[in-house]
Amino acid sequence: MRLKVLITREVFDEVLEYLSQYFEVTSNQSDIPMNPETLAMRLSDKQGALITLSDRIDTALLSRCPNLKAVCNIAVGYNNIDLEACTKAKVMATNTPGVLDDTTGDFTWALILATTRRLTEAEAYLRADQWDGWKLKQFLGLDVHHATLGIFGLGRIGQVVARRAVGFEMKVIYHDIRQAAPEIEQMCRASFVNKDELLAQSDIVTLHVPYSSATHHLIGKQELEKMKPTAILINASRGGVVDDAALIAALHSGIIAGAGLDVFENEPKLNPGFLELKNVVLAPHIASSSKATRFKMAMLAAQNLVAVLTTGHPPNLLNPF
């Protein structure tokens, strides 16, 4: 008898074909998001699942899926999975590290440049047919070259962002729970500072930490008040790392100059306060979304699923037991 797996959202045909060689596959190619009840029902007779960051895997769900052995996230972040609950239920959880670092780093730079140079605001002005000619003081922005870039989290993606700063001849500082090895600091030309120093010195603050209770609202009212009024904040990590309400208030009152955001609290719902602001660049969680990278992410997740259910040794196991 073939093992049964569920693919919770639309994937590339090649991924579907690959998994179909091994398993009886049920897939959601119509891409209709499943609520927790539907997910539990559809997973109740499955041995494995290829999931995305909008699927919550917790005790309540696991208790209804007695045959489940594998939950394989198509994402490097895994705050949607309760690892402890998975371990208790003897379910292996996996993610997709490594394959999306460059693409996510590139997009971080897209946000940095669009925000500092007010690109989306300027485009909206043009599209609204408001342009009546060149003006000396039109859409004055912030220079990226020679500015100070402050990186929270010098992990794989933070390092990519730092390395790309060389071309802009920037000073790079970073903060993390622990200082990086000297060779990494050297490669990134980045100096370790404490949190307050990073906030006070940076012209651009960019976040590259995983979301957890330790990083919940890492940037809130107090932190925003420590930033320069000319500075901008970039978040392509996870919603919840920033207190969105505090950020909206800071952008309104000029506590900081702007923000570029790919992620939000309560995605896909957006705090309507953001839509009233001109000094924020908004994207719908697409930092890793190049065709090549999203394909690699889905294929790696599928390979993890095959490995859990065939050998028991997936390449990217999050909860060894």
Residues that bind ligand DGY in the complex, under the rule CB under 6 A: 53, 75-77, 100, 285, 288
84 catalytic residue (yes or no):
no
* DSSP output for 187-219: HHTEEE--HHHHHHH-SEEEE----STTTTTSB
Min dist CB 91 to ligand DGY, Å, is 20
Smallest gap, in angstroms, from Cβ of residue 53 to ligand DGY? 6
Nearer to ligand DGY, 148 or 289 (CB): 289
Provide the token pair at 246. Answer: 């505090």
CA–CA dist 201, 48 (Å, integer): 48
Is residue 267 among the annotated active site residues?
Answer: yes
- Smaller CB separation from ligand DGY, 23 or 314: 314
Catalytic residue among 42, 56, 156, 267: 267
Contact 150, 204 (CB under 8 A): yes
Query: What single string gives the DSSP state of each residue in 89-137?
Result: TT-EEE---STTHHHHHHHHHHHHHHHHTTHHHHHHHHHTT---S--TT
Instruction: Let me know how long the chain is.
Output: 321
Angle at 220 between CA 214 and CA 223, to 5 degrees: 100
Annotation says 185 is catalytic: no
**Between 80 and 202, CB nearer to ligand DGY:** 80
Residue with smaller CB distance to ligand DGY, 76 or 308: 76
**Other residues' Cβ atoms within 10 Å of the Cβ of residue 295:** 15
Q: How far is CA 268 from CA 237, 262, 273, 283, in A?
A: 15, 11, 15, 11
Min dist CB 263 to ligand DGY, Å, is: 7
Q: Quick check: 302 and 95 in contact, CB under 8 A?
A: no
Element (H, E) at 296: helix 291-310
CB of 52 to ligand DGY, least distance (A): 8
* 27 or 108: CB nearest ligand DGY: 108
* CA gap 122, 258 in Å, rounded: 14
Catalytic position from the list 238, 265, 294, 313: 238
CB 77, min distance to ligand DGY, A: 3
Query: Which residue number is nearest to ligand DGY in terms of Cβ?
Result: 77
Q: State how far the Cα of 283 lies from the Cα of 260, in Å rounded to an integer.
A: 8
Report in angstroms how near the CB of residue 5 gets to ligand DGY at its nearest: 20
d(Cα 120, Cα 277) in Å, to the nearest integer?
12
Q: Point out the catalytic residue in the list 9, 164, 175, 285.
A: 285
- Residue with smaller CB distance to ligand DGY, 54 or 279: 54
Residues noted as catalytic: 238, 267, 285
